[in-house]
Amino acid sequence: MKIVQEDFRLSSKSRTQMIDITSHVDSVVRQSGIANGDAIVYCPHTTAAITINENADPSVPHDVLLTLEELVPHHRPGYRHSEGNSDAHCKSSMLGCSEQVLIKNKALSLGTWQGIFFCEFDGPRSRKVVIQVRGE
Ligand code: ZN
């Protein structure tokens, strides 16, 4: 089995934002030379997440962020964490810091409407995403 790992940085532009990174992951997969296997997309941050959802209609990421905001308010009585970003930590754990996508014939096996998103919950700031492609 061959393993190729690559990091890249991105800059979020607002406090909460879903950034479509599908084309970047796709290019890492194509350059890896791996035809069949999987790709793990990972973010090494405690106030961000990786998720897969619809990237055809920009209203979808908007509505996901709106719903998370309602479920997990920025300020709430009872929060103890002194940084003031407890909501971002909670959202990070709810969505998780990685996704795994299967690769078949050098292409990501995503559904027609699926895209891979980096989710910012405490921006704007510079972030890192790690992609590991494994297979043959
Ligand atoms: Zn914090």
Cβ contacts of 120 within 8 Å, gap of 6 or more = 12, 14, 15, 16, 17, 18, 19, 48, 127
pLDDT tens digits, 99-122? 999 999 999 999 999 999 999 999
Q: Among all chains, which residue has been given the structure tokens 């409407």? A: 113
Q: How far is the CA of 64 from the centre of ligand 1 (A)?
A: 22
pLDDT digits (tens, 9 = 90+) for 22-74: 999 999 999 999 999 999 999 999 999 999 999 999 999 999 999 999 999 99
The conformation of residue 9, written as its DSSP 8-state character, comes to: E
| CA atoms of 49 and 105, how far apart (whole Å) | 28
| Whole-Å CA distances, 114 to 23, 84, 87 | 12, 33, 26
Q: For residue 77, what are its two tokens?
A: 């009585």
The alpha carbon of 130 and the centre of ligand 1 are apart by a number of angstroms equal to 21
pTM exceeding the 0.85 threshold for the entire prediction: yes
Residue 83 alpha carbon to ligand 1 centre in Å: 5
How far apart are the C-alpha atoms of 119 and 97, rounded to whole Å?
Answer: 9
Q: Residue 119 Cα, ligand 1 centroid: separation in angstroms?
A: 16
Q: Which domains does the chain have, with CATH numbers?
A: 2-74+84-135 (2.60.120.460)
Following DSSP, what letter does each residue of 16-42 receive, concatenated? SEEEE-HHHHHHHHHHHT--SEEEEEE
* Rounded distance between C-alpha atoms, residue 51 and residue 99, angstroms: 6
* Arithmetic mean of pLDDT, 120-132: 98
| 133 — pLDDT class (breaks 50, 70, 90) | very high
pLDDT value at residue 118: 98
Strands 126-135 and 48-54: unpaired
What is the DSSP annotation of 62-110?
HHHHHHHHHHS-SS-TT---TTS-HHHHHHHHHH-SEEEEEEETTEE--
